[in-house]
Amino acid sequence: MMRITFNERRGVITLTVEGVLGGAWVKELERSWAETLISPDRLSVDLRSVTSIDNLGQQLLAKMHLAGTTLIGGTGPMTGYIVSRIMQTT
């Protein structure tokens, strides 16, 4: 299960993702991202409460990063590693 919440502060929209970013939930995050995508550099995705990310989730995050969306992975071993790897390779 996954939960997405929206927050806007100082012109930046943050999508906070909680739970599992995998399977059918990847499409849900992509839909939410596309709906809020006014300007990619004014959008961030907070992944600090994500418990797991499958390959499709990682591909979507790479797509978001390439579009200019800020990814927040935090210091957790899993999301922090995945986000840093995406940022280094894209």
Sequence ranges of the domains in the chain: 2-89
Q: What is the CA radius of gyration of the chain?
A: 12
Q: Does 78 or 29 have the greater pLDDT score?
A: 29
Q: Is the pLDDT of residue 72 over 80?
A: yes
Mean pLDDT of the chain: 89
**Residue 81 predicted with pLDDT over 90:** no
What is the residue-wise DSSP string for 23-52? Answer: THHHHHHHHHHHHH-S-GGGEEEEEEEEEE
Q: If you classify domain 2-89 with CATH, what class do you get?
A: alpha beta
pLDDT tens profile 24-68: 999 999 999 998 877 667 899 999 999 889 999 999 999 999 999
